[in-house]
Amino acid sequence: MWTDLSFPLLTRRQGSVAEDASPGRPPPPFMRGPKAFILHYIRSRPLSFCLLFVMVFGAACCAVGVQYVMKFLVDAMSGPRSDGSAAWTALSFFIGLIAAESILWRLSGWLGCRTTLGAGIDMRLDLFDYLNGQPMRYFAENLAGSLGQRITSTAGNFGALTNTVVWRVLPPFVDFIGAMVVFAFIDWGMMATLGVFVVLVTAGLILFGERGHHHHRTYAGHANRVGGELIDVISNMWAVKAFSARHRERERLAQDFRSEAEAQRASWMYTEKARVLHDVAMWAMAGTMLSWCVHLWSVGRITPGDVVVVSALTFRILHGSRDMALSLVDMVQQFGYIDETLRVIGQPQSVCDVPSAPHLESRCGSVSFRDVSFAYSGSQDAVHDIDLHITAGQKIGIVGPSGAGKSTLVHLLQRLYDVQEGEILIDGQPVRSITQDSLREALAVVPQEITLFHRTIMENIRFGRPDATDEQVFAAARAAYCEGFIRSLPLGYDTIVGERGMKLSGGQRQRVGIARAFLKDAPIIILDEATSALDTESEMEVQKALVRLMRDRTVIAVAHRLSTLTAFDRIIVMRGGHIVEDGTAGELRQQHGLFDRMWRLQADGLSLDEIADDAA
């Protein structure tokens, strides 16, 4: 099925923009950078995020208030014991603020969980929606496991970023502002010194963290790529075992893991450098402030309660500012991860619906190719100057050697790619002017390589028409001659087929794919070597079923076995991206051209590629 795509795809650089006729639709504004991306999801839940910040701000203010009330409690207890009312009043405020702080923290935790998880769901769905608008070339260039990991990790990074800002940056910031207010009542010089010192240290660490941005982004890229490589090897474990490649693949993965670890080490150690710089700065700040405070107490300018509150707030700021500074470095990492994901997933889409595109109106099934030309990037035309009209209900076969353009033609009809010259019409409507979903609703496709989901057989057949009843699914399975092998399975229709249907044989997967097409009941049927994986007896049975399926429908069948096309209305012979012959099997045999030579040589057991070489 993918024969026409193999070499052009290998020459393309991963991550490059598709070079189709249209320039491509750019990603939506909120996907054009991590800042816009994050703000989009914050704005989608303004009340929740605002309330979350208010709760955390209130809890942090209560924490500062506890430290300040402690001053009054200590001063009251240092005075005459005959008047204990001041101490009891201070204690009441102390207990009340602790209770309020605890309640606000718990409420913020509940709201934060609800808000970030909800935003994470929206985020993954939006990324998936944009991803599934990419052309098939994009998925051939990017590992599926890596793309899935990027989508999942981006939602996790957003949650981590929210947690970092709300619980690790905002509280230390409130502590700092509160300490400035408290210190202003104790000594203006101490307040000014604290303010200048903390601002300089934090700004320095932020600048230092920004310089390490490339380390964090490099690590994110390595992590996503290695994750995709690992999934790729696991999903192809049969080939690994069959070709005795276990040690070879292990060494290959070991090199990838070491490369990832080296990138992670650079990112990690850069963060450790920030921690060392912060520890030195905070040690100097704590020593200076506490020495100053003891000096003021020794000359009688402040009370013991002032000493206690300065000591408590100094150490609180010491630990809080460290958390805040390191959190700011972590934020740079999380921004880097999100940025790296958006650079891969947020590439412009080359196959897009035009604004306000209508649905396909008629479903008769006529198809027209008008002067169609198309080339994969970096290659000569895969198809060139194709003029072909298929009336509704007509059955045509397409034959030719590998690379002739057969599969490209049916891919263009499905609009997996956009033509670069000419146009394709279904029932008189250009496929580029209607919605892609309505176009593909009119097509039932049975490819050579059947793709099945890691779900039950019932679910895989019903994928062709989700609203079908069980009886309709059973009827489609019987029509495709699936009933026998399905009933022999332990769980019957409830059997999980495994990843990509690996628990089933090639012929069984092919028949499930045909049953899925039967169930869809579309006016246009595309068969791309639909019976290639079947044995002769099964192929004859399925061919009979296909005859029933094809009745009153337009059929376009790509085939290598010429004998399967003898009952078709027309046969199109392609070579080098051109249509070289067109007619019924009988007419083409009488012309003694390429088809006739292919027929005679295939009767001798040669492949189409050998036939094409002989014909050339």
Question: In this predicted structure, what is the pLDDT of residue 560?
Answer: 77
For residue 139, give the nearest of 402, 279, 340, 344 by alpha carbon.
344
Quick one: 169 exposed, middle or buried, by C-beta within 10 A (0-12, 13-18, 19+)?
A: buried
Of 57 and 29, more confident:
57
Last residue of a domain, one of 316, 345, 374: 345
Query: Which is more confident, 420 or 294?
Result: 420
pTM of the full predicted structure? 0.68
Distance CA(290)–CA(296), nearest Å, equals 10
pLDDT winner (highest mean) among 30-44, 232-246, 369-383: 30-44
The CA dihedral of 115, 118, 120, 121, to the nearest 10 degrees, is 180
Query: Do both 325 and 390 map to the same domain?
Result: no
pLDDT of residue 104: 92
The answer to whether 613 and 598 are in contact (CB under 8 A) is no
pLDDT at 424: 92
| 3 state DSSP class of 401 | coil
pLDDT computed for residue 389 by the predictor: 92
* Domain match, 579 and 608 both: yes
Residues 167 and 204 in one domain: yes
Residue 443: partners with Cβ closer than 8 Å, 6 or more residues away: 413, 414, 522, 524, 525, 526
- Is residue 276 within 8 A of residue 326, CB to CB? The reply is no
User: How confident is the model at residue 161, as a pLDDT?
Assistant: 87
Q: Is residue 373 part of a domain?
A: yes
Mean of the per-residue pLDDT values of the chain: 79
572-611 per-position pLDDT tens digit: 998 888 888 888 888 888 888 888 888 887 766 544 444 4
Sign of CA dihedral 433, 437, 442, 448: positive
Residue 479 placed within a domain: no
How many whole angstroms from its chain centre is CA 453? Answer: 17
Confidence of residue 209 (pLDDT cuts 50, 70, 90): low
Asked whether residue 589 is domain-assigned, the answer is: yes
Asked if residue 538 belongs to a domain, the reply is no
What angle, 0 to 180 degrees and rounded to 10, lies between the N-to-C axes of helices 536-550 and 470-479?
120
In the predicted model, what is the mean pLDDT of residues 307-321?
73
pLDDT of 220: 72
570-575, strands of its sheet edge to edge: 443-446, 524-528, 554-558, 395-399, 570-575, 578-583
Note whether 322 and 369 are same-domain residues.
no
Is the predicted pLDDT of residue 13 greater than 60, yes or no? Answer: no
Work out the average pLDDT over 444-448.
83
Higher pLDDT among residues 282 and 111, named by residue: 111
Distance (Å, rounded) from C-alpha 575 to C-alpha 592? 16
Kindly state whether residues 270 and 378 are assigned to the same domain.
no
Residue 430 near residue 441 (C-beta atoms within 8 A): no
φ and ψ at 108, to 5 degrees?
Answer: -65, -35
Band of pLDDT at residue 449, cut at 50, 70 and 90: confident
Residue 110, pLDDT > 90, answer yes
3-state secondary structure of 373: strand
The top-scoring range by mean pLDDT among 225-234, 371-380, 441-450 is 441-450
Q: How confident is the model at residue 14 (pLDDT cuts 50, 70, 90)?
A: very low
Beta bridge partners, 25, equal: 349
Stronger pLDDT, 1 or 586, i.e. the higher one = 586
**pLDDT above 70 for 22:** no
Question: Rounded CA gap, 489 and 179, in Å?
Answer: 72
Q: What is the pLDDT of residue 11?
A: 32
Say yes or no to pLDDT of 536 above 90. no
Distances (CA, A) of 267 to 158, 219, 257, 264: 19, 7, 15, 5
Asked whether the predicted pLDDT for residue 396 surpasses 70, the reply is: yes
The enclosing domain of 245 has a CATH number of: 1.20.1560.10
Question: What's the mean pLDDT in 67-83?
Answer: 70
Cα 608 to Cα 404: distance, rounded to the nearest angstrom: 11
Whether residue 166 is predicted with pLDDT greater than 80 in this model: the reply is: yes
CA distance 311 to 297: 12
Are 120 and 196 contained in the same domain? Answer: yes
Q: Identify whether 499 is part of a domain.
A: no
Q: Does residue 18 carry a pLDDT above 50?
A: no
Report how far residue 601's alpha carbon sits from residue 27's, in angstroms, rounded to the nearest whole number. 51
Instruction: List, for residues 250-304, the tens digit of each pLDDT value.
Output: 888 888 888 888 888 887 787 777 777 777 877 777 777 777 777 777 777 777 7
Bridge-based pairing of strands 578-583 and 570-575 is: antiparallel
pLDDT recorded at residue 542: 67
Q: Are residues 308 and 235 in the same domain?
A: yes
**Is the same domain home to 255 and 399?**
no
Count structural domains, the chain. Answer: 2
Asked if residue 435 and residue 392 are part of one domain, the reply reads yes
Q: What is the pLDDT of residues 340-388, one digit of tens each?
A: 888 888 887 777 788 888 888 877 888 999 999 888 875 667 888 889 9
CA atoms within a 13 Å half-sphere pointing along the CA-CB vector of 45: 21
Same domain, 312 and 382: no
Share of the chain above pLDDT 70, in %: 87
Report yes or no: 450 and 512 within 8 Å, Cβ to Cβ.
Answer: yes
What residue numbers bound the domain in which 438 lies? Answer: 365-442+556-616
Residue 536 lies in a domain: no
DSSP H helices, 483-607, are 483-488, 506-520, 536-550, 585-591, 594-603
Q: Is residue 549 part of a domain?
A: no
Last residue of a domain, one of 310, 345, 380: 345
Does 328 lie in the same domain as 387?
A: no
Q: Are residues 316 and 435 in the same domain?
A: no
Classify residue 543: in a domain, yes or no.
no
Q: Which tens digit of pLDDT belongs to each residue from 319-351?
A: 677 677 677 767 777 887 888 888 888 887 777
Closest CA to 144 of 250, 231, 223: 231
Q: Report how far residue 594's alpha carbon sits from residue 599's, in angstroms, rounded to the nearest whole number.
A: 9
Write the CATH number for 569: 3.40.50.300
Which residues lie across from 483 on neighbouring strands?
none
pLDDT above 90 (res 50): yes
